[in-house]
């Protein structure tokens, strides 16, 4: 089993359409999908994100980090939420993404989340993180 993150991306048009969709309708669609993921035993985490206008960006391109309030540049640079699934393969993650209730015009990026076992186990920081994961029930 491997973990995959499904990153929900919007365009200007899909974001506008999402904002025009009644909240109860969106909640019903997403709730049914989340329930299906839970029943299948593949859901690790799922979160939607607040409006980009409420966020900030920390830019590290200079010597000193620069903080800029949202909203940001182009919508295509943003993501609106994510799912983390534990599935047998990338193909299975893709199949779940194809079932996701998405606004037409939006996209979902799928990326594998490497596990802690894939890092050098003799590294002090990996050891520390492993101990933390064990203490918090994540391993």
Residue 114 backbone dihedrals phi, psi, to 5 degrees: -60, 140
Q: What is the pLDDT of residue 99?
A: 94
pLDDT at 92: 97
pLDDT higher than 70, residue 72: no
pLDDT value at residue 136: 95
Cα-Cα-Cα-Cα torsion 15, 102, 81, 43, nearest 10 degrees, comes to 170
What pLDDT does 98 receive?
Answer: 95
| pLDDT (mean) for 9-15 | 81
pLDDT tens, 44-60? 999 988 877 788 888 89
Domain 2-114 listed as CATH 3.30.70.1060: yes
Q: Percent of the chain beyond pLDDT 70?
A: 95
- Average pLDDT of the chain to the nearest whole number: 89
Quote the pLDDT of residue 134: 94
Q: Is pLDDT at 135 greater than 90 in this prediction?
A: yes
pLDDT digits (tens, 9 = 90+) for 83-108: 999 999 999 999 999 999 888 888 89
Interatomic CA distance for residues 53 and 69, integer angstroms: 7
pTM above 0.85, yes or no: no
Domain ranges of the chain: 2-114
Neighbouring residues of 34: CB distance < 8 A, sequence distance ≥ 6: 43, 46
Burial class (CB in 10 A: 0-12, 13-18, 19+), 8: buried
Instruction: Output the 3-class SS for 94-109.
Output: HHHHHHCCCCCCCEEE
> For 22-138, where are the E strands, in sequence order?
43-48, 56-59, 66-69, 79-87, 107-113
What stretch of H or E contains 15? helix 12-20
Question: Residue 9: in which H helix or E strand, if any?
Answer: strand 2-9
Dmax over Cα atoms in the chain, in whole Å? 52
């Amino acid at each position: 089993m491997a973990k995959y993150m499904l990153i929900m991306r919007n365009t200007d048009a899909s974001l506008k359409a999402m904002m025009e969709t009644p909240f109860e309708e969106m909640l019903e669609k997403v709730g049914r999908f989340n329930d299906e993921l839970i029943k299948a035993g593949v859901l690790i985490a799922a979160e939607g994100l607040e409006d980009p206008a409420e966020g900030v960006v920390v830019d590290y391109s200079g010597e000193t980090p620069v903080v800029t309030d949202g909203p940001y540049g182009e919508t295509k640079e943003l993501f609106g939420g994510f799912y983390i699934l534990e599935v047998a393969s990338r193909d299975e993650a893709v199949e779940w993404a194809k079932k996701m209730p998405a606004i037409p015009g939006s996209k979902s990026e799928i990326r594998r989340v490497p596990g802690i076992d894939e890092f050098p186990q003799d590294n002090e920081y990996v050891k520390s993180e492993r101990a933390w994961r064990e203490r918090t029930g994540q391993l």
